[in-house]
Amino acid sequence: MKWLWIAIIGMGWAINARAQWVVRPSGFAIGPAKAISGEADRPRPARIRHAPVPLSVPHEIPNWLFPNIDVTNSDVAQTEPMVAISPADSLNIIIGANDDRDSRQLWAYSSRDGGISWSDTDMPIPMESWILNATATDPSIAFTRTNVPLFVNGHLADAGSGNDVSCFTSTDEGIAWNLLSEVFQDSEGFTGVISDKYFVGVDNDASSPYYGRVYGTWVEIENSSARIVEAYSTDNGKSWSGRHYLSESGTYTSPVPVTEPDGTLLISFVDYFQNNQILVARSTDGGNTFTSPQVIATYRNIAPLYPPDNRGYENIGPPDSALGVNSFPAIAVDHTPAHNGRAYIVWCGKGNDSLPHIWLAMSDNDGVSWSAAQPVDGDSTRKASARFFPWVAVDPTTGNIGIDYYAALMDTVPPKVTGVNVILLANLYMLHSTDGGVSFACRRISNATFDPISGQDYRFPESNEVWFFGDYIGIAGRSNTWYPAWTDARTGDDEIYTSIVQPFAPMPVTNLARRDTMMNGKKASLLSWDYTPETTFGYPLAGGYQFDIAKDGATLGITGGDSLFFVDTNAEAGKEYEVAVLSGRYRSITDSIPNGNSSVASAIGPVSFYFGTSPAEVGHEDVLSIQCPAACKVTLMFFDELGRPLGPALTDESFSAQHTISFIPENAGVRFFVIHEMAAGASREIFGKILVQ
């Protein structure tokens, strides 16, 4: 009989993550700060730096499905990340963010290897004298139809006497940037307004009559009243039209532009005070004129406004240390055949259950009418205090939808800690839909829980402290790879993180185990594992899968998906075994286990055994005969091809050098077996298979 030696018995193996609790310093001794008149967007950082000691610093969870990457690696605050992927090179990703290394500048972070490594650079300061000391705010990034990146943001003078909307570009994949144009500029404050919340969008649909047109949107604030403004460029951002207003004066903010395949321009924004309305304005003539803003939905604030100002910032957390959040909407449009022209708007707010939710509304007729809002959050945060900062994007190659957002809950510090009673525990989640927003799979992306109230940035509305964690986050996806970009405070500093999320990558193996054995008188290592064939977001694996078995990074072999076992006949102490799942173009994260000393069975000499009939026959008694070098006890167990035991262990109950164990096969097929030999001071397991017909 020809034997295939395979490990059958599995061994549980898990890693537990622990949380380390430390005390937040009581009182940061932050002195008075000068508020920027009308600037509700990027508060001044604390002038007195404190040691970055967060309340909770969990260890990162090992073998996390979605690698978390610290983009900024800085000890000052970075907030409000926006992210874009180059249409020409999906490995080129650019993130822009507020960066408190210098409040006059924003920073850009670029990757040319698919998000694994990042370089950073400070954005140039336009040379007008009034801008030299102005605060830079609100990054937004988009690629033109010729694959040139544009970076749009604003500057606001300390006294509010000057403001602008600047457009920068890069010729080296986001490493260096130059000022391309001024979308709008008021260097002397003649207009009596200030600008805020800048976003850029590009019509990149070749079927559109306005193909290539770049749209810039922002808010103009005058005497606490705001209007939504739009301008466009027909030459890739080199020059801009005049301003077009699409709202009357009111309490509006956060305008985000997107385009439909037929060129219809949709701009979502919010009326954040009293009315609490999610709105959309439409233009069918390339941004020259607009319909009256349409109310898509109303929302309930996540929490009561604290303090009751008119900036639209709901606040959660202890009343003496609140975190400012908001219900600003984000919008995206599908330009693929999947759901061509379908528009998606997301925002956050409380539902009738008084719990916070992420809400979604959709339109299939260029934004003329919209579906009723539905909650789509799917995280497992029980009694969440807030779900906030959702952003939505559509994969331009597949039409699949990605939404990222925070979910946070309030928790108390363990009783032994004094001085702080309540903290916020937050994580970043991502929703993914393959059916045009009908259903969503949800996964936690952050591999460490953090407290957003880090104490790095703050506002002083009406003499009360409201900590600042930004006003939004971003997400972009292409070719089924997604890059959420978020602010994360796990180190005690507000840093920008991203993750490489592939919803169709295979899940890793589970219960990886290693056992020592002998094969042909030689020490061997036998690996076994369990596997449920599904992707990281719970979708069925398509196109089959295989297991890649490696030792210290060198592949030993690739086995089919019907095998859950592997034997290494060259067992070496101190080596690490690794098992990964291959499916299509994807590879799972690797699970690993160290090799032992392979010293088992050193006290037991060679053993011989044979079955009475080969192949065995269904319903007919067969016997296993074993000759051991010394007196021992022997058991025999059979398993099916999935490693499930077929009945109890069999034994002849004797303690001798010679054994005969009888059995009767009940079903035809391949049967794996394990012979367990127990001698004085040593034991071993012998693995193999027989055919039953």
| pLDDT tens, residue by residue, 462-507 | 445 678 899 999 999 999 999 999 999 998 889 999 999 999 999 9
The percent of residues in the chain predicted with pLDDT above 70, rounded, is: 82
Among 503, 528, 550, where does a domain finish? 503
Q: Is 424 a residue whose pLDDT tops 70?
A: yes
Given a cut of 90, whether residue 366 has pLDDT beyond it is: yes
- Quick: pLDDT tens for 2-39: 222 222 222 222 222 222 222 222 222 222 222 223 33
Listing DSSP states for 19-41 in one string gives EEE-PPPS-------PPPTT--S
What's the per-residue H, E or C state across 478-546? ECCEEEEEEEECCCCCCEEEEECECCCCECCCEEEEEEEEEECCEEEEEEEEECCCEECCCCECCCCCE
CA–centroid distance for 591 within its chain: 20
Report pLDDT for 609: 83
What is the predicted pLDDT for the residue at 604?
52
Q: Is the pLDDT of residue 514 over 50?
A: yes
Better pLDDT: 197 or 46? 197
Structural domain that includes position 151: 123-298
Phi, psi of 119 (to 5 degrees): -110, 160
| Co-location of 401 and 486 in the same domain | yes
- pLDDT classification of 608: cutoffs 50, 70, 90: confident
**Do 658 and 557 fall into the same domain?**
no
Average pLDDT over residues 116-138: 91
Where residue 274 falls among pLDDT bands split at 50, 70, 90? confident
* Residues 294 and 359 reside in one and the same domain: no
Whether residues 579 and 439 fall in one domain: no
Q: How far apart are CA 28 and CA 24, in angstroms?
A: 9
* 615-627 average pLDDT score: 87
Residue 335 amino acid letter: H
Q: Which two tokens stand for residue 467?
A: 């900590």
Q: Are 646 and 618 in contact (CB under 8 A)?
A: no
Q: Are residues 340 and 461 in the same domain?
A: yes
Q: Is the pLDDT of residue 600 over 60?
A: no
Q: What's phi and psi for 131, nearest 5 deg?
A: -80, -20
State the pLDDT at residue 21: 22
313 and 290 together in one domain: no
Which pLDDT score, from 0 to 100, does residue 596 have? 57
Q: What is the pLDDT of residues 532-558, one digit of tens each?
A: 999 999 999 988 999 999 998 899 999
Does 144 map to a domain? Answer: yes
For the ranges 35-49, 73-87, 88-102, 552-566, the lowest mean pLDDT is seen at 35-49
Please identify, among 594, 621, 642, the residue that sits at the C-terminal boundary of a domain.
594
**pLDDT recorded at residue 33:** 26
Domain-embedded: residue 43: no
- Supply the mean pLDDT for the chain: 83
Question: Is residue 138 located within the same domain as residue 221?
Answer: yes
**Does 139 reside within a domain?**
yes
Give the CATH number for residue 623: 2.60.40.10
Q: Tell me the pairing of strands 106-111 and 119-122.
A: antiparallel
Q: What pLDDT score does 543 carry?
A: 83
250 and 332, same domain (yes or no): no
The residue-averaged pLDDT of 341-356 equals 95
- What percentage of the chain carries pLDDT values higher than 90? 52
Q: Is 53 a domain residue?
A: no
Of 603, 607, 614, nearest to 676 by C-alpha is 607
Return the pLDDT at 121.
95
Residue 393 pLDDT greater than 50, yes or no: yes
pLDDT digits (tens, 9 = 90+) for 204-217: 999 999 999 999 99
Residue-wise pLDDT for 640-651, tens only, equals 766 677 888 898
Q: In this model, does residue 572 exceed pLDDT 50?
A: yes
Do 249 and 359 fall into the same domain? no
Residue 619 CA: distances (Å) to CA of 588, 652, 667, 668, 672: 43, 20, 8, 10, 17
For residue 322, give the CATH number of its domain. 2.120.10.10
Task: Compute the radius of gyration of the chain from its Cα atoms.
Answer: 31
**Within a domain: residue 315?**
yes
Q: DSSP secondary-structure letter at 293?
A: P
pLDDT computed for residue 605 by the predictor? 60
Predicted confidence at residue 314, as pLDDT, reads: 66
Indicate if 335 and 395 belong to the same structural domain: yes
Task: State the pLDDT confidence band at 418, using cuts at 50, 70 and 90.
Answer: very low
* Cα distance between residue 604 and residue 497, in whole Å: 55
Q: What is the tally of structural domains in the chain?
A: 4
587 and 518 in a common domain? yes
Which among 264, 298, 332 is the end of a domain? 298
pLDDT for position 422? 61
Q: Is residue 647 part of a domain?
A: yes
SS3 192: coil
**453 vs 362, higher pLDDT:** 362
How far apart are the C-alpha atoms of 211 and 260, rounded to whole Å?
A: 11
Token pair 């690696």 in the structure block, residue: 73
Residue 137 belongs to a domain: yes
Residue 683 has pLDDT above 70, yes or no: no
pLDDT reported for residue 479: 96
Peptide bond into 390 cis (omega under 30): no
pLDDT at 621 over 50: yes
User: 456-466 pLDDT, tens per residue?
Assistant: 777 665 445 67
Same domain for 493 and 521: no
User: Is 427 within the bounds of a domain?
Assistant: yes
Inter-residue contact 83 to 476 (CB < 8 Å): yes
* Max mean pLDDT range (219-233, 295-309, 599-613): 219-233
